[in-house]
Chains A and B, each alone.
Chain A
Amino acid sequence: MQRHFDEELKQLRDRLLAMGGASEQIVGKAVKALVERNLALAQEVLREDTAINQMEVEIEDLCLNLMARYQPEAKDLRTVAMIFKIVNDLERVGDQAVNIAERTVDLLKEPLLKPLIDIPRMAALAQQMLKDALDAFVNHNTEMARDVCRRDEQVDHLNDQIYKELLVFMTQDPKTIIRAMDLILVGRHLERVADHATNIAEDVYYLVKGTTIKHRLAGN
């Protein structure tokens, strides 16, 4: 039987994907501004986060509305509940992009400390994780969701590497501390983006299968 609830659920999914797209884009833009030392682009990021915040509030409202009006069950319930969680992660991704842009605005006041190698690499990994988590959502692809979760370790590893490398700069020359700290924070923000992508992937797995792979519960 056709249900008008399905139409509303589809609209909800579309809204989530629009927000996902915006979150992917804003991270890309923040990293690009850092790598290309582009102040205007960094400032754009700061402005664009508002649109993501707006979507968060709207989608949360939609979710609550659907839950109250349709009392969804089973997969319908998991879908609405997981979307309610995923928006939270996407909103935080937008915040991480803003944090990176803020560090960029500061970093641009001084010459480059060192050529950026691991940060762009880490950014590419985190962005791909986010993209794949959203693709897994669209296609209900649990294998892809699991794979996103596995890749989180690579990002964590790069983050440690960045931290250790910059620690050397700071101990050798205190004049580098400000810039090194900014870069360490950028690494930390990217690591958080990957964490949010992992959360989304875990939620997608739960949405599709109804069992959780969080906290190694599925022995992944």
Chain B
Amino acid sequence: MSTPSEPVMPPRITPPAEEPRVEGAALAVEKLNAWFGSNHVVKDISISFPKHHVTALIGPSGCGKSTFIRCLNRMHEVVPGARVSGSVLLEGDNIYAEGVDPVRIRRRIGMVFQKPNPFPTMSIYDNVAAGLRLNGTNRVSVLDAAVEEGLHLAALWDEVKDKLRAPGTSLSGGQQQRLCIARALAVKPEILLMDEPCSALDPIATGKIEELIYQLRERYTVGIVTHNMQQAARVSSFTGFLLMGELVEFGATGKIFTNPKDSRTEAYITGRFG
């Protein structure tokens, strides 16, 4: 080699972005606590649900994740002896402020549960229309449009469009769950919460719901509770890990699943825990 050439110092490269882009929080939880009687099950959790993203909460059974998510649309307090403190800001307004009507909150923050629970006596159509009718909408043209839109959004329309008058319970488990999602979406909520929405479904139906959840984020902010870590990894942009009522770690899903900060998170997601 000859005389060394002038050293060239190339510009430093920038590390890859760790956080997905966020445009504000749809729901901001501040110091939330929840009790069943004297049993303190949610401890001082503060967390934001970024707009138009899926945020997943994972954790072992009994960690408080279902209770936590039920606090987000004022469903925890319906259990006798249950109590909540702290605030949940929906577009800046505390849903626990005095005088706030829980029913109105539940209209803006929809919920889908673990087991598909279509209203057993109602047809597919009536299941989707139920929320709107409850809100006083009775015009057929409006209901027709809302039912069709809800079923489209829930990726169920093509499968049921020819049997809208059939009972909701005549559908398969996966279809019933999508029917429940359609029902939740028909009232045009801002936020959709899901509590283990796939745990009663087979892998194919689960795959369909997961794809649906991923697509829904374009129109809604989605919060999902799951004990299936892989599901959280697949569908969410942000993940929080709960343990014994506390939020151990919260961050971008890619980061949580490649390089969690807390050793307890690492132990849980790698299966070394519990």
Q: Which residues of A contact B (CB under 8 A)?
A: 1-5, 43, 46-47, 49-50, 53-54, 57-58, 61-62, 64-65, 68-71, 102, 105-107, 109, 178-179, 181-182, 185
Residue of chain A at shortest CB distance from B213: A4
Q: Report the separation of the CA atoms of residues A102 and B10 in the bound assembly, to the nearest whole angstrom.
A: 13
Interface residues of B in 1-53 (CB under 8 A from A): 1-3, 5-6, 8, 10-11, 13-16
What A residues does B2 contact at CB under 8 A?
A: 106-107, 109, 178-179, 181-182
Residue of chain B at shortest CB distance from A51: B13
- Shortest distance between the CB of A164 and any CB in chain B (Å): 19
Q: Report the separation of the CA atoms of residues A110 and B15 in the bound assembly, to the nearest whole angstrom.
A: 40
What B residues does A185 contact at CB under 8 A?
A: 1
- Shortest distance between the CB of B67 and any CB in chain A (Å): 27
What B residues does A178 contact at CB under 8 A?
A: 1-3
What B residues does A105 contact at CB under 8 A?
A: 5-6
| Pick from A2, A57, A68, A179: contact of B211, CB under 8 Å | A2
| Pick from B10, B254, B258: contact of A50, CB under 8 Å | B10
Q: Report the separation of the CA atoms of residues A124 and B192 in the bound assembly, to the nearest whole angstrom.
A: 58
Q: Report the separation of the CA atoms of residues A71 and B10 in the bound assembly, to the nearest whole angstrom.
A: 36
Contact A4-B214, Cβ < 8 Å, known A57-B16, A106-B5: yes
Question: Are A68 and B11 touching (Cβ within 8 A)?
Answer: no
With A62-B16, A64-B258 known, 8 other A-B pairs at CB within 8 A are A43-B8, A50-B11, A65-B254, A68-B233, A68-B254, A70-B233, A105-B5, A106-B5
Question: Are B16 and A61 touching (Cβ within 8 A)?
Answer: yes
What A residues does B207 contact at CB under 8 A?
A: 1, 3
Question: Are B1 and A71 touching (Cβ within 8 A)?
Answer: no
- Shortest distance between the CB of A152 and any CB in chain B (Å): 25
Question: Are A1 and B233 touching (Cβ within 8 A)?
Answer: no
Q: Does B138 count as interface, using CB distance less than 8 angstroms? A: no
- Shortest distance between the CB of A39 and any CB in chain B (Å): 10
Question: Are A1 and B211 touching (Cβ within 8 A)?
Answer: yes
- Shortest distance between the CB of B196 and any CB in chain A (Å): 19
Q: Report the separation of the CA atoms of residues A58 and B2 in the bound assembly, to the nearest whole angstrom.
A: 35
Question: Are B258 and A65 touching (Cβ within 8 A)?
Answer: yes
Jot down 6 A-B pairs with beta carbons below 8 A, ordered by A.
A50-B13, A57-B13, A65-B254, A68-B233, A106-B5, A178-B1
What B residues does A1 contact at CB under 8 A?
A: 204, 207-208, 211
What B residues does A181 contact at CB under 8 A?
A: 1-2
What B residues does A70 contact at CB under 8 A?
A: 233-234
Question: Are A46 and B10 touching (Cβ within 8 A)?
Answer: yes
Residue of chain B at shortest CB distance from A182: B2
Q: Does B257 count as interface, using CB distance less than 8 angstroms? A: yes
Q: Report the separation of the CA atoms of residues A109 and B230 in the bound assembly, to the nearest whole angstrom.
A: 59
What B residues does A53 contact at CB under 8 A?
A: 10, 13
What A residues does B230 contact at CB under 8 A?
A: 71
Residue of chain B at shortest CB distance from A5: B234
Question: Are B258 and A68 touching (Cβ within 8 A)?
Answer: yes
Question: Are B204 and A69 touching (Cβ within 8 A)?
Answer: no
Residue of chain B at shortest CB distance from A53: B13
Q: Does B66 count as interface, using CB distance less than 8 angstroms? A: no
Q: Report the separation of the CA atoms of residues A58 and B254 in the bound assembly, to the nearest whole angstrom.
A: 13
Residue of chain B at shortest CB distance from A65: B254
| Pick from B13, B215, B257: contact of A68, CB under 8 Å | B257
What A residues does B234 contact at CB under 8 A?
A: 5, 69-70
